């Protein structure tokens, strides 16, 4: 196991984060991503209108006896995380209205300085079955730096490239973790609140550099570690449930990182002009994967921010294609081909069509 200044790297420490965090050195990690218990407190069994019962979160780790108990717990892990963070470090926390106001208020009191809050808008949220409230369709992320005014990492150009060459906004549209990505054991979900990798992809790419150290004190099924490994960041997870630890270890073990240049070349050139990055976030393409111009050569490599690298050329699928065509106006979606698992070549546009319509913004925009 790699280790830097007493900080173990790329591993999972099994145990309660309130016991393990105090053993970690100060000023050691670049970023913390925390997905703490939400303290949901659903009062009764919930049924859908078709009489099926909702498999709600009722895990023991999500139960607190009072608001005060939750605050005590929150203050403890937040202040330890602050100590462990480098002065230039930032903290991400995700939550819902059940807990995010507790967390947000406490982190301000501890000296964190909020840089943004972000809303993860779920394209496929659970409806409100009983018509009693608004459908809870989002979760909130707070992004804060350890100390007001310190330098911090924000990869503005990478975020812009990932977002159709427009500034990345505070509203993020992503589906919940379903389908093949959702880890299941004997058909049962392995973790009740597994986060989608697309969410962590954006978090990690926005606020860390390759080689940075990311701490996740509520590691769960290990999404943070999986994305960190893909993007050549170091991770350190803390998780107290040995079953989750085992699941996360196996998951991360199976990850093949993107080729290093695909990650390191990010930020070196200009931005693309098309939402190509969404295919990466969705996992339809991987950083480092080759693309073939007109289905043949030359070959290009996909970078982690949605740019291509082809020989000495770097840029969007359109920019590079245009250069290859002596500046003729062209559409990269039709000119670049990817190889699918069967070995056949198809134009990128196939993937764009496949990309769930869920990725695009809702239509009702009164």
| Closer residue to DNA (CB): 46 or 260 | 46
Q: Which does 366 bind (CB under 5 to 8 A by kind): DNA, a second copy, none?
A: a second copy
Which among 132, 160, 150 has a CA at the least distance from the CA of 90? Answer: 150
Q: Write the burial class of residue 229 (CB in 10 Å: 0-12 exposed, 13-18 middle, 19+ buried).
A: buried
Task: With beta carbons less than 8 A apart as the criterion, state whether 223 and 195 touch.
Answer: yes
Q: Which does 104 bind (CB under 5 to 8 A by kind): DNA, a second copy, none?
A: a second copy
Q: Does 265 bind a second copy (CB under 8 A)?
A: no
CA 215 centroid distance within chain: 14
| Closer residue to a second copy (CB): 143 or 265 | 143
The interface with a second copy within residues 76-115 (CB under 8 A) comprises 96-98, 100-106, 108-109, 111, 114-115
Handedness of CA 292, 294, 298, 304 (dihedral sign): negative
Q: Does 357 bind a second copy (CB under 8 A)?
A: no
Q: Does 116 bind a second copy (CB under 8 A)?
A: yes
Orientation of helix 67-84 relative to helix 100-109, angle to 10°:
50
The interface with a second copy within residues 164-223 (CB under 8 A) comprises 164, 167-171, 173-174, 198, 206
Q: Which does 343 bind (CB under 5 to 8 A by kind): DNA, a second copy, none?
A: none
Preceding peptide of 86 cis, ω within 30°: no
Task: With beta carbons less than 8 A apart as the criterion, state whether 183 and 197 touch.
Answer: no
Q: Write the burial class of residue 217 (CB in 10 Å: 0-12 exposed, 13-18 middle, 19+ buried).
A: buried
Judged by CB under 8 A, how many residues of this single chain contact a second copy? 69
Return residues touching a second copy (CB under 8 A).
47, 51, 53, 59-60, 63-64, 67, 96-98, 100-106, 108-109, 111, 114-119, 121, 123, 125, 127-128, 131-138, 140, 142-143, 148, 154, 156-157, 159-160, 163-164, 167-171, 173-174, 198, 206, 325, 328-330, 361-362, 364-366
């Amino acid at each position: 196991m790699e280790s830097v200044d007493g900080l173990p790297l790329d591993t999972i420490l099994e145990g309660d984060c309130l016991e393990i965090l105090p053993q970690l050195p100060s000023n050691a990690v670049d970023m913390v991503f925390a997905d703490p218990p939400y303290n949901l407190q659903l009062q009764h069994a919930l049924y859908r209108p078709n009489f099926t019962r909702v498999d709600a979160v009722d895990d023991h780790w999500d139960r607190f006896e009072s608001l005060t108990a939750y605050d005590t717990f929150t203050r403890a892990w937040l202040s330890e995380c602050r100590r462990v963070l480098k002065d230039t470090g930032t903290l991400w926390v995700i939550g819902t209205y059940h807990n995010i106001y507790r967390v947000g208020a406490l982190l301000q009191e501890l000296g964190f300085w909020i840089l943004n809050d972000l809303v993860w808008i779920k394209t496929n949220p659970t409806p409100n079955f009983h018509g009693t409230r608004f459908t809870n369709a989002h979760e909130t992320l707070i992004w804060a730096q350890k100390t007001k005014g310190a330098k911090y990492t924000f990869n503005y150009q990478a975020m812009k490239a990932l977002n159709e060459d427009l500034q990345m906004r505070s509203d993020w549209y992503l589906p919940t973790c379903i389908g093949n990505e959702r880890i299941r054991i004997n058909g049962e979900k392995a973790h009740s609140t597994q986060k989608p990798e697309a969410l962590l992809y954006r978090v990690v790419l926005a606020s860390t550099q390759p080689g940075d150290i990311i701490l996740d004190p509520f590691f769960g099924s290990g999404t943070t570690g999986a994305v960190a490994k893909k993007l050549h960041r170091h991770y350190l997870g803390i998780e107290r449930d040995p079953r989750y630890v085992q699941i996360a270890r196996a998951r991360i073990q199976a990850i093949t990182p993107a080729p290093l240049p695909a990650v390191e070349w990010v930020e070196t050139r200009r931005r693309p002009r098309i939402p190509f990055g969404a295919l990466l976030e969705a996992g339809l393409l991987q950083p480092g994967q080759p693309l073939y111009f007109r289905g043949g050569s030359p070959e290009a490599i996909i970078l982690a921010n949605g740019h291509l690298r082809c020989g000495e050329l770097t840029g969007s699928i359109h920019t590079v294609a245009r250069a290859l065509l002596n500046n003729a106006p062209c559409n990269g979606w039709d000119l670049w081909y990817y190889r699918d698992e069967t070995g056949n070549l198809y134009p990128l546009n196939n993937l764009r069509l496949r990309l769930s319509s869920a990725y695009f913004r809702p239509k009702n925009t009164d």
